[in-house]
């Protein structure tokens, strides 16, 4: 199975176009496991997936390597950093986002020993624009009901927090690759081939897709539900795989699934990509066409997916003093029990 904690993008895989054979082989097998493991019944599946997989590997590595160095999140930086001032409405908002982020809380809870000096993570946000009527100076005259556009950021979430930047980047490469597999699986579930047993197969594949999304392996929006335990999640997916194997599959069905997977990987840059997006705003979030003394230009990086999602992304480092205190569940239980 997938091996939730296995990083197929280890050291030495981040540069150049010649990747270790072990990386390519692991990526092919992960692609098969992540979509329809019965693809191994197709003669020459590895050969057919090799070129598309190489393209996908190169793309996701480049996508992550192009991220600029982390922006530091801390109280002193908030007052001077234009990005942080735009992303968060106040320093208390920063504390609220960090303190309520489920993924970060899970990482802190599972990190042994003393808390590291910092955590590096990918911050994802939704950018919202709204037309309003505001006030503006026209020379020495204060005019009212001036059409303006305000920009705000919401749905903040942190992904792949670790104590080392390179480790976080490795996890993000895997996440980007897995996001492509999620897109392929979503297309496979809607493929119309072979009527016999089709609905049952679709049902099982939809269950597998839901399990992948519950594991939060891609860049999709987080839900209010906590992520499933990795061991339980793998057991659930393996159960689905066994049922799929029991149904069997004709060659036409598997060839179609293989074609879909191959196409998504081969066109990775059209399924998951980023675009630089300049934005000029003041501290009140009002958008301007040109920089002014109070409005600086920000260079946003927007992550787009073929599923229609668009998220502003920024690699950040979170200082230890900004992290929420670790919860002592044993002490809490003792207080509860008296």
Q: What is the pLDDT of residues 93-142, one digit of tens each?
A: 999 999 988 888 888 888 777 778 899 999 999 999 998 776 666 566 66
- Report the distance separating Cα 56 and Cα 34, nearest Å: 14
Q: Which of 318, 319, 314, 316 is nearest to 66 (CA)?
A: 314
How many residues are recorded in the chain? 338
Low-confidence residues of the chain, pLDDT below 50? Answer: 1-5, 12-14, 193-199, 223-224, 247-248, 329-330, 332-334, 336
CB atoms within 10 A of CB 127: 18
139: left (phi over 0), alpha (psi -120 to 50) or beta: left
- In this predicted structure, what is the pLDDT of residue 108? 84
Q: What value, to the nearest 5°, has the Cα angle with vertex 66 and ends 63 and 67?
A: 100
Residue ranges per domain, the chain? 1-122+158-273
Can you give the C-alpha Rg of the chain in angstroms? Answer: 23
b/e 215-238 (16+ beta carbons within 10 angstroms → b)? bbbbbbebeeeeeeeeeebbebbe
CB atoms within 10 A of CB 144: 8
Q: Which of 120, 64, 141, 124 is nearest to 319 (CA)?
A: 120
**3-class DSSP assignment, residue 155:** strand
Helix (H) or strand (E) holding 276: strand 272-282
- In this predicted structure, what is the pLDDT of residue 311? 96
Find residue 148's DSSP bridge partners: 132
Distances (CA, A) of 123 to 82, 172, 204, 305: 16, 12, 33, 16
- In this predicted structure, what is the pLDDT of residue 285? 87
Find residue 150's DSSP bridge partners: 130, 286
- Asked if 174 contacts 9 with a C-beta cutoff of 8 angstroms, the reply is yes
Distances (CA, A) of 1 to 36, 37, 44, 260, 269: 11, 9, 20, 20, 26
83: its two tokens: 């990005």
- Asked if 279 contacts 300 with a C-beta cutoff of 8 angstroms, the reply is yes
- Report the distance separating Cα 28 and Cα 45, nearest Å: 9
- Report the distance separating Cα 62 and Cα 218, nearest Å: 17
- In this predicted structure, what is the pLDDT of residue 251? 59
Token pair 């897995």 is found at 178
- In this predicted structure, what is the pLDDT of residue 291? 87
């Amino acid at each position: 199975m997938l091996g939730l904690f296995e990083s197929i993008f280890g050291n030495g895989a981040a540069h150049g176009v010649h990747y270790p054979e072990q990386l390519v082989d692991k990526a092919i097998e992960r692609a098969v496991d992540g979509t329809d493991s019965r693809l191994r019944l197709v003669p020459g599946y590895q050969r057919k997936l090799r070129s598309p997989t190489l393209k996908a590997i190169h793309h996701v590595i480049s996508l992550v390597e192009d991220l600029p160095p982390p922006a530091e999140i801390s109280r002193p930086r908030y007052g001077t950093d234009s990005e942080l001032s735009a992303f968060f409405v106040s320093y208390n908002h920063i504390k609220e986002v960090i303190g309520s982020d489920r993924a970060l809380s899970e990482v802190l809870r599972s990190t042994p020993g003393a808390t590291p000096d910092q955590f590096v993570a990918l911050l994802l946000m939704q950018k919202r624009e709204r037309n309003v009527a505001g006030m503006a100076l026209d020379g020495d005259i204060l005019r009212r009901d001036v059409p303006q556009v305000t920009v705000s950021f919401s749905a903040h979430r942190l992904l792949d927090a670790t104590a080392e930047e390179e480790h976080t980047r490795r996890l993000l490469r895997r996440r980007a690759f897995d996001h492509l597999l999620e897109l392929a699986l979503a297309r496979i579930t809607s493929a119309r081939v072979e009527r016999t047993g089709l609905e049952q197969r679709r049902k099982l594949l939809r269950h597998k897709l839901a399990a992948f999304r519950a594991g939060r392996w891609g860049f999709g929006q987080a839900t209010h539900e906590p992520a499933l335990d990795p061991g339980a999640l793998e057991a659930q997916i393996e159960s689905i795989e066994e049922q799929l194997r029991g149904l069997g599959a004709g060659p036409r069905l598997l060839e179609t699934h293989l074609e879909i997977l191959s196409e998504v990987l081969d066109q990775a840059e059209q399924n998951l990509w980023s675009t630089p997006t300049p934005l000029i705003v003041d501290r009140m979030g009002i958008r301007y066409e040109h920089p002014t003394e109070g409005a600086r230009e920000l260079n946003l990086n927007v992550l787009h997916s073929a599923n229609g999602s668009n998220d502003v992304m920024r690699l950040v480092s979170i200082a230890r003093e900004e992290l929420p205190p670790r919860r002592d569940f044993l002490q809490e239980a003792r207080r509860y029990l008296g």
